[in-house]
Amino acid sequence: MSGNATKGFRLFLDEHWRKMYHTSEAVYQDTIVAISTPIGEGGIGIVRLSGRDARAIARRLFPGQLVNRRLVYGHIVDPENEEVVDEVLVAYMEAPHTYTREDIVEIDCHGGPLPLQRILGLALRQGARLANPGEFTLRAFLNGRIDLAQAEFVLDVVQSKTQASLRLAVQGLGGKLSEPIKEVRSSLMEILAYLTARIDFPEDEIEEQGITRPLESAQQTLQDLIANADAGIVYRQGVRTAIVGRPNVGKSSLLNRLLRQSRAIVTPTPGTTRDTLEEVVNLKGVPFLLVDTAGIIDSVDEVEALAVERSKKAIEQADFVLFVIDASEPLADSDRQLIDLLAEKTVLVAANKRDLPCKAELDGLPWLRVSTSALTGEGLTELENGVVDFVLGGRVIASDAPLVTNPRHKEALIRAKEHLDHAQTAIAENLPDDFITIDLTAALNALGEITGETVTDELLETIFSRFCIGK
């Protein structure tokens, strides 16, 4: 490669690598403060400050000596009248080795609303600004401590509903998903730089570089991530599951069995359930929001009719339907009406009352079914396993595999993979390099939306608005 070509190639690489990584220099000049523990009474409450004036503000409120990375005992004092507000422990952490890469002060006080609000108010009067939702984590992202995917996993850790979802969130926070995506971006960046040098410096002899194999490797990595994304999303978001059936087939009894507690009222009288009842259950690490519904029948009773409408709405909103049938009786007209109603839904049939002789003809049903008894508990394990396997599509997720758990990430990966497919097609058809670089650039942008290199302000606002103010 000639001198001009080498210089152009290097400048191109430097520019793009610079965009791939944030600098450690803080991007904010003000200092924020927020209460970082839940509202209400508790043993300890935390007021957190972050920014260049965090230490100075804390020193005006805390007469004790602040020592980097030491927890110091003392009192918060109102500087205007020297009133002691609370007995506290204060931790000062010096930038850049902090969560936000800014100076941070955390004040551990008594966990009542009044002391927390008093200390918050004092910090605001000393020049701090009330933090926006998720602003501490936003600063961690903008200051380069974490990428955008890791920032989103912070919220997943906080909102985890099962041990499995917590494990996946912690792995994501540690960069388990970001690592392969950054490796793919790095590989594509090298290919793009090479092709751009060929386009910009056609008069120079540029050493041939194979691009097909790196592209195929990138495609395979993205395909592997996409393949298990649906299962990962299920672990993260859970599954809204409507338990439906005609009256008195055992829906509420089955709910109680799955919950291992008597949550729904159960009587021999049909129509006991008059409203939807929602409870969360952990089945093999997957959170299920179970919605017990009223039996769906034609009724002239106004209350029953309203209950049936709510049941139908629950079916519409459900990701998955557990259709409970009384297998000890022949299928009724109301069962067949439900079969028609559920035609467009994802359904698993629970053939209940297996402790009694089976009289229902179930072979014609279009869905998989599991035989169980809500009364005795027979078949409950098979039902739970069947529900989870059905929802996960039979996928077995390796505990150490990077897993996509966010629908936004999945959609971006799909777009990136499609652009790489188009690039391979352009190579196979011997199209000019410009056609390939267009798709490579689009793929890089799509992947950058996951890790944050090509993120928009609007997307950042959407993501971090879901955080609590103190995180």
For residue 303, pLDDT over 80 is answered with: no
Q: What is the pLDDT of residue 248?
A: 84
What would the pLDDT profile of 410-430 be if each residue is shown by its tens digit?
999 999 999 999 999 999 999
For residue 14, pLDDT over 80 is answered with: no
Q: Which CATH superfamily is domain 32-143 in?
A: Probable tRNA modification gtpase trme; domain 1 (3.30.1360.120)
Question: Measured on CA atoms in the order 128, 129, 133, 134, is the torsion positive or negative?
Answer: negative
Could you state, in order of their start, the residue ranges of all structural domains in the chain? 32-143, 235-392
Higher per-residue pLDDT: 333 or 208: 333
- Residue 73 contacts residue 28 (beta carbons within 8 Å): no
Q: What is the pLDDT of residue 27?
A: 52
What would the pLDDT profile of 222-238 be if each residue is shown by its tens digit?
999 999 898 899 989 88
Q: At what angle do helices 178-200 and 148-159 cross, to 10 degrees?
A: 160
Q: At what angle do helices 148-159 and 135-142 cross, to 10 degrees?
A: 150
Q: What is the mean pLDDT of residues 393-398?
A: 62
What would the pLDDT profile of 105-115 be if each residue is shown by its tens digit?
999 999 999 99
Q: What's the whole-number average pLDDT of the chain?
A: 86
For residue 462, pLDDT over 60 is answered with: yes
What would the pLDDT profile of 371-390 be if each residue is shown by its tens digit?
999 989 999 999 999 999 88
Please give the backbone phi and psi of residue 322, each rounded to the nearest 5 degrees, phi first.
Answer: -100, 105
pTM for the full predicted model:
0.82
What would the pLDDT profile of 120-167 be if each residue is shown by its tens digit?
999 999 999 999 999 999 999 999 999 999 999 999 999 998 888 999
- CB-based contacts of 452: which residues, under 8 Å, 6+ apart? 141, 147, 148, 149, 151
For residue 15, pLDDT over 80 is answered with: no
CATH of 235-392, one of 3.40.50.300, 3.20.20.70, 3.90.1150.10, 3.40.50.970: 3.40.50.300
Distance of CA 408 to the CA centre of its chain: 9
Burial class (CB in 10 A: 0-12, 13-18, 19+), 57: buried
Q: Quick one: tokens of 200? A: 């910009």
